[in-house]
Every structure is written in structure tokens, then in C-alpha cells.
Structure 1
Amino acid sequence: MKQPCVYILASRPGGAIYVGVTSHLARRIWEHRQGLADSHTKRYGITRLIYYEQYDRMMDAIQRERTMKHWPRVWKTRLIASMNPEWRDLYDDLA
């Protein structure tokens, strides 16, 4: 699944969240789960894929990630709830 994506990870439902961007979502989430990625996600156990958006161009995905990182937490929570109200881990759905 090689396509530009913005994604949100969580430690648990309602827990710590992380917003990222990648060109290969499945591989990047695997890296987070193995502890190979960003120390923030490793430190707080943020490994559950709870939201993602796909884009045609990496430039658009990067801009969206930058915008979302500046949002208040309540906006991110509402966005997650619009697609995944149970904060279910979506990683297995990628295959």
C-alpha cells in the first residue's frame, strides 16, 4: 500500500495521540509497533492506528499533517470519531 497518507495513532481509546505522514502506511505502522520510529510514540506506547487519509500527492499529505498538528485535541478527537468512533485499531484492515 504505497500511497501518501496522513495517519493518527493512539495509545488506547482516549489516550495519547500522534499525527504523522508517510508514503507507505503499513510499513510505517509496523515500524511504530516495533519501536523503530519516533521516540514520542515509543515512550508513550502509541501504536494503534485509529485514523488515516490517503492522498494522490505527498505535498498535499504533508500540508494536511502540518495543519492537523496545530489543531486542538478536541478537533482531532472529533475527526477520529467521524471515521472510527470506537477507536478500533485499523492496522489489520490494511492487508
Structure 2
Amino acid sequence: MTNKPKGVLYIGVTGGIDDRIERHKAGKGSKFTKKYNLDKVVYIEEFQYVNDAIAREKQLKRWHRQWKINLIEQDNPKWDDLRPS
């Protein structure tokens, strides 16, 4: 999640993306997303197993900021909100 192109980035794991996004947008998600008004989903990866998702989250959190930006821009160069409808 982010608040604008190349803005603050938040990485998280959830078992229910629609509900999680709604909570973040309503200011009831994490303190971090509320503090920085993060309301746009700009990158999503899906996993069958939660352990794989958690491992990927930890990996991405260790990445340099520019690597994360490059990853987002590979599939979403305009930083469109990818919120599932």
C-alpha cells in the first residue's frame, strides 16, 4: 500500500485482502497505514500457503526501497490502485 506514486510503502500479509483493504481505508488497519494515510494498493502477490506469503513479506521488507519501486513499476507503472472490486 502507498499514499501516492513513489510515496511511503507498506508491505503486509493477509488471508482476506478485501476486508483488510477496507479496514486500512477506514483507518482501522495498522497504526503505520493510518499515520501515513496509506490507501492505495499498488502491488499484490497471491500465495496458496501462508508460510510462503510470510517468507515473501520478510524478504521484501529487507529489500532496498528502489528495488520495491522497480517491482511495483514492472506491473503497475502508473501506480494505479489495484484494489480488488
What is the TM-score when the length of structure 1 is the normalising length?
A: 0.87
Query: How far did residue 47 of structure 1 move?
Result: 1.0
Amino acid paired to 1:15: G
- The question of 1:76 aligning with 2:75 is answered no
Tell me, which stretches of 5 or more residues in structure 2 are unaligned?
Answer: none
Aligned length: 85
What is the TM-score when the length of structure 2 is the normalising length?
A: 0.97
CA RMSD of aligned residues (A): 0.6
The residue aligned with 2:16 is: 24
Query: How far did residue 14 of structure 1 move?
Result: 1.3
- The question of 1:53 aligning with 2:51 is answered no
SS at match of 2:27: coil
Percentage identity across aligned positions?
Answer: 38
The residue aligned with 1:14 is: 6
Q: 4+ residue runs of structure 1 moved beyond 4 angstroms?
A: none
Amino acid paired to 1:48: K
Give the structure with the larger strand fraction.
Answer: 1
